[in-house]
Amino acid sequence: MKALLLYDYPPSPAGLATQGALLHRGLEELGVEVCSTHFESAQEKEWYYRWFEPDVVVGIGYWGHTPDLVLHPRRYGARCVPWLVADGYMANYREVLDALPLVLVTSRWVKKVYTRDGLKGKNIQVLPVGCDTDAFIPRDRSDPKVAAVRESLGIAPDQIMILTVGGDAASKGAREVMEALALIDQRAPDWKYVCKVWPQPRTQRQNIADLQLASQLGIDKNVIYATSVTSRDFMPYLIAACDIYAAPSRLEGFGMLQVEANACGKPVLGINAMGLLDTMVHGETAFLAEVAQEIHLRETMLGAESGYAENHRFVFEHPRTVDFRASVHDIADYLLRLMEDKDLRERMGSAGRARVVERFDYRVVARKFIDIAARYLEVA
C-alpha cells in the first residue's frame, strides 16, 4: 500500500495534526509507503498524486474540509478516505461523503452525529486516534523533568495536582470542576488545580471569566492558569506531574488528552457521554460523571463552508444537542475519592495504561487502518 496523508503538516501541537502524524508514523513502522502534506496545499498535493501515485489519500479534518480532503484528490483520480471529527452541524457535502466507499470517524458518537445530520452511515467506520505510548508513560514524581514541571507551577511535593488541558479550559469542563472543588475544599487534602490552555484571543477572554468564577467560589488561590505556548515534547511531563487528570468535557469526539493521561498511568475524571464512552471505562480507568444538562439549539448561522452566503440563519426542524454539562456533585464525589486514596489512583492509572497500550497505541491504530482499507477498498 502507498498512502498519502493530508493534515496540518508539518504537524503543530494541535489534535488533528497529532492524529495525522501518529498515523503516518504507525504506517511507516509497519512497512507502508507513506507521505504527508498539508491538506490545503493544492500544488503540493497534485505533485504527490503525479509522482507518488498513492493507492489511498487519507484526509484528517471535519466535514467542512471536504473540498480539500475529498474533492481535490478525486479530481486527479485518487482514491480518498476522509478521517473526520465532529464540528458543528453538518450542512453540506452529504451526497459527496455518502458516495465514498469509506469514511472514517474517531468514535461511535461522531458516527452518530454524522448520521443525525443526514449521512446514511453505511460506509462509516470507527478508527480511534492513536497514542504515542512510548512518550506518554508512567513517570515517578522524583523524575527531574517531572519535578521541574511541578516546581515551575508552584506545586508543593505533598499537594494533589489536578490537571485540565485544552485550547480553552471551559470547553473541557473546568468550570464544573471548579464548582466541584469548592464543594469539597474543606474536606479534601491540600490541592492545586492547573488549567493548561493555548494562548489566543478567545481563550484569553474565557480565562478571565474562569478566574472570576474561581474568585467567586473562594478557591482562586488554588487555581493556576498556564497559558504559554508548549510543544508536544512537554506534554508527557506535564501530565506525569499531575495526580488526577480532570476533563468532564462539554464536547468531546474522542478525548485524546484523556487517553494520553491514562497512558501516563493517571486516573481520569470525565463525562459519561460522547467519545469518552469509547475510550474510558467507568470505575476501572476513569470516573465518568453523569450528564446533568444538555444544551440545545433551535437555529444556527451558516456560511460559505456550508454552501450559503455568510451569516445565513438556519432553523432546525428539531432542536439539536450541541453541548453537555457534567454533574457537579458527581465530579465532587469522584474527585474526593481520588484525592483521598492514593492506592485507588494508582490502580485506575495502571488499568488505564494497560487499556491504552492494547487499544489505542498508534501502531495498533495503524494496523486497524490497514485492515479496514483491505476490507473496504481492497488495498493491500
**pLDDT tens-place string over residues 245-290:** 999 999 999 999 999 999 999 999 999 999 999 999 999 999 999 9
Backbone φ and ψ of 346, nearest 5°: -70, -40
Grid cell of 320 as nine digits: 439539536
Residue 311 has pLDDT above 90, yes or no: no
Segments making up each domain of the chain, as ranges: 2-130+361-376, 144-290+327-359
Decide if 275 contacts 107 (C-beta within 8 A): yes
Residue 328 has pLDDT above 90, yes or no: yes
pLDDT of residue 208: 94
Q: How far apart are CA 27 and CA 54, in angstroms?
A: 14
Mean pLDDT across the chain, nearest whole number?
95
Residue 316 has pLDDT above 90, yes or no: no
Decide if 295 contacts 319 (C-beta within 8 A): no
The answer to whether the 2-130+361-376 and 144-290+327-359 domains have the same CATH topology is yes
pLDDT of residue 297: 82
Residue 60 has pLDDT above 80, yes or no: yes
Q: What is the pLDDT of residues 127-142, one digit of tens each?
A: 999 999 999 999 999 9
- Which helix (H) or strand (E) segment holds residue 28: the answer is helix 15-29
Q: Helices (H), strands (E): how many in the chain?
A: 15, 14
Decide if 32 contacts 63 (C-beta within 8 A): no
Instruction: Sort 23 into a burial class: Cβ within 10 Å, 0-12 / 13-18 / 19+.
Output: buried
Lowest-confidence pick of 27-41, 190-204, 278-292: 190-204
Whole-model pTM: value is 0.94
pLDDT of residue 298: 84
- The CATH architecture to which 144-290+327-359 belongs is 3-Layer(aba) Sandwich (3.40)
Mean pLDDT of 170-192: 97
Grid look-up 489536578 returns 162
Grid cell of 337 as nine digits: 475519592
* CATH code given to domain 2-130+361-376: 3.40.50.2000
More confident residue, 322 or 214: 214
Decide if 291 contacts 327 (C-beta within 8 A): yes
Backbone φ and ψ of 234, nearest 5°: -80, -30
Residue 306 has pLDDT above 70, yes or no: no
Q: Where are the alpha helices (DSSP H) in 160-312?
A: 174-184, 201-217, 235-241, 256-263, 276-279
Decide if 71 contacts 240 (C-beta within 8 A): no
pLDDT of residue 92: 86
Residue 312 has pLDDT above 80, yes or no: no
pLDDT of residue 321: 81
pLDDT tier, 91 (very low <50, low <70, confident <90, very high otherwise)? confident
Backbone φ and ψ of 108, nearest 5°: -65, -35
Mean pLDDT of 298-314: 74
Angle, CA of 187, 150 and 226, to the nearest 5°? 90
